[in-house]
Amino acid sequence: MNNKIVLNRAAFIFFLFCFLLVIPFSQYIDLILSSSISFFLIIIFGISHGALDHEKGYKLLRIYKIKNTIIFFLSYISIALLIIFLWLILPNLLLIIFLLVASYHFGKEDSEILVFKKNQFQNLIFLLKGSLIIFTPLMFQFENTLIIFSFLNFNVDLLLFLKENRFIETIYIIGLLSNIFFLNTNFNFNSKIIFFDLFTINILYYFLSPLAAFALYFCFIHSLRHSVSLIESLDKKNFKRGLNKFLKKALPLTLITALLFILSLYFLIDHLEFNEAIFKVIFIGLASLTFPHILLEYLLKKNEK
């Protein structure tokens, strides 16, 4: 089955879930998707979309004619540790950079299945499209989102300034408009995916807590979309066979990463309040994985071209 058909159906099913269950039963879903449940959803389903990075790393090493695979793992881990270290000493700067990188990453990877004409402004459009993930919780759940930023040692005065001067509403509207841009590029297919994405993201962040909403988006829109593209790359003719290959290849690194997240949480719980520890592990952990993941993707595409 074509991956676009799979993702189109998945987007529609998830939209129905949000429309039929999240809206009327948001209070109960928030209770179910507590901090700990959201944490486990992210480390099991969310981070698995980068669990084939070692396969891509081997490919990159072959391009550079490097035979020692340990070099890839040392480089990947070193970058991840560097991000964690820099976050500890420069939390404001690292969080701003991470949010910009994450916005571009969300906008680009969530759009890979879309059909649109490439133009010189597409990277800016990806950034604005992905910014919706960052600014929607600030738009609808400002106080709760402020707490998360404070847990991450971010100076919330900047967010208060943005709120007072209506920058949050402005960027949110620009994010919506950048999504509508894709609606106009190919009405038949893009309109369905973008329509489902827009309504789903807004429903999630309007009715649920920021962490629960992010966990559902990250696992069942962003990571699912990327994982399906990886499955198709493993076997373009047979989706089920590709899925089996993906699960076998992704399981080892997913389990190792999940274990590291759990151990980090276990260590921090002794020193921090439970929710603060969870937010630090999730977002600093995701940042440490996102930077080497994006760098790897960039180097591969650059050398393949």
Over the stretch 55-92, which tens digit does the pLDDT of each residue have?
899 999 999 999 899 999 999 999 999 999 999 999 99
pLDDT tens digits, one per residue of 133-158? 999 999 999 999 999 999 999 999 99
> Residue 193 in contact with residue 130, Cβ under 8 Å?
no
Q: What pLDDT sits at residue 253?
A: 87
User: What distance in Å separates the CA atoms of residue 44 and residue 39, rounded to the nearest whole number?
Assistant: 9
Q: What pLDDT sits at residue 99?
A: 94
Q: What band does 276 get if pLDDT is binned at 50, 70 and 90?
A: very high
Q: What pLDDT sits at residue 1?
A: 53
Q: Is the pTM of this model over 0.85?
A: yes
| End-to-end CA, the chain | 28
Q: How many Å is the maximal CA-CA distance in the chain?
A: 56
**Size of the chain in residues:** 305
Pull the structure tokens for residue 258. Answer: 């999940």
Mean pLDDT of 272-285: 94
Q: What pLDDT sits at residue 304?
A: 72
Mean pLDDT of 14-28: 92
